[in-house]
Amino acid sequence: MNLASPYWYPFERGETRGITGAEGGTVVEDEQHDDGARIMLESGCLRAPFAITVTVYGWMVHTRFFADEATAKQAYDDMKTALIDVLRRLPKEDDDPVLTEEIDEAVETFQARFP
């Protein structure tokens, strides 16, 4: 199992904040992780007041919807922390083995925890 960095940083140096996101809302938070993930929080979305979209590059795109800001922000923080478990299973170098079953299981566990 690889060790994943716990550090997130603003996607595109924070320049995506304020633009329209994937769910038709305004991007409030948009962060990326060097180990291969992105998480975005939007407000004023087309389907719900708030949405969180998580991408693990090459493995998962997962969106959740929320009725209130406090719940959405707490979920955003919880999901960022939980994503580390998925990221630590991804290969870090081109010649590292791809443990597909292990990664799929981690993705399924993440999606079940955050439906």
- From CA 75, how far away is CA 90, in angstroms rounded? 23
**Tell me: the pLDDT tens digits for 30-40?**
999 999 999 99
Find the mean pLDDT for residues 66-92.
Answer: 96
CB crowding 23-60: b at 16 or more within 10 Å, else e:
bebebbbbbbbebbbbbbbbbebeebbbbbbbbbeebb
Q: Three-state DSSP class for 20? A: strand
Pair 38, 8: CB distance under 8 Å: no
Find the mean pLDDT for residues 23-46.
Answer: 98
**Tell me: the pLDDT tens digits for 12-22?**
999 999 999 99
pLDDT computed for residue 45 by the predictor: 98
Ordered by start, the domain boundaries in the chain are: 8-113
What is the band of 29 on the pLDDT scale with cuts at 50, 70, 90?
very high
